[in-house]
Amino acid sequence: MSHPYQVAVIGLGAMGMGAALSCLRAGLQTHGIDLAPAARERLAAAGAASVGANAHAIADRLDAVLLLVVNAAQVRRILLGEEGLARRLRPGTAVMISATIASEEAKAIAAELEAQDLLVLDAPVSGGAVKAEAGEMVVMASGARAAFERLQPVLDAVAGRVFVIGEQPGQGSTVKIIHQLLAGVHIAVAAEAMALASRAGVPLDLMYEVVTQAAGNSWMFENRMPRVISGDYSPRSAVDIFVKDLNLVADTARALNFPLPLANAALNQFLSASNAGHGLEDDSAVIKAYAGIQLPGDAQ
């Protein structure tokens, strides 16, 4: 390629910032797009080619766009809304959609983008902020071979492992939604166990030490429960994200006429925490759905 590979990372939250820093580290000309000035400033200080609240000014020079936003409505607004980016991109530009969205939405958005001569990868990601910053995200990708090829420099930069789910957009999103069933249930049950420990008078740091050395441990327990122990619920991923994701799980199962008793129980716990005013706190704040327990950080 005669010019440096240029990628715009749209959405500089925990995962998007990590992905953008990984692209920079890999030598890609990286543009950071976010509405939050602090996020833009952080990426600019790290050496971004440009930062902005939208990608309109740089659209015609991009090879790829990576979206790490929250939901399908944001993906649609950014790409296909009145001020949408899609019509400003050169034909053949690759768009990697890494939001967790319904499979049908992924298919529909991909079809609209492909009609504008863009290459689309339905490519949800997992691994948390630490793996994102290390360039070791797990990517569950589906789309045409040409989209994979065009996005190879980005995939090499951000992913520790790329799973090729299939050739049709939507297939990657289905796998991510099933993964989120496990992620949401694991967080909810980790919180339930720690809530019970609190009620039983077991020190939470002791309970954490035991579980993380024993067979009941999970990645989510190990990653999320230190936030409960420290009383720090500043959001890395919010309660309302799992309300959204577990609703996608429930919708997927309903369409398949398939019962999911554990996922639905977890969804109700996240709904309870959100309803109690904790929706924008870290997803570990699902523990606050339990009444009558004393947690670290609570007013005495």
Q: Which residue among 107, 176, 244, 288 is the active-site one?
A: 176
Q: How many CB atoms lie within 10 A of CB 36?
A: 12
Q: Is 244 a catalytic residue?
A: no
SS3 labels along the chain: CCCCCEEEEECCCHHHHHHHHHHHHCCCEEEEECCCHHHHHHHHHCCCCEEECCCHHHHHHCCEEEECCCCHHHHHHHHHCCCCCHHHCCCCCEEEECCCCCHHHHHHHHHHHHCCCCEEEECCEECHHHHHHCCCEEEEEEECHHHHHHCHHHHHHHEEEEEEEECCCCHHHHHHHHHHHHHHHHHHHHHHHHHHHHHHCCCHHHHHHHHHCCCCCCHHHHHHHHHHHHCCCCCCCEHHHHHHHHHHHHHHHHHCCCCCHHHHHHHHHHHHHHHHHHCCCEHHHHHHHCCCCCCCCCCC
Residues with a catalytic annotation lie at 176
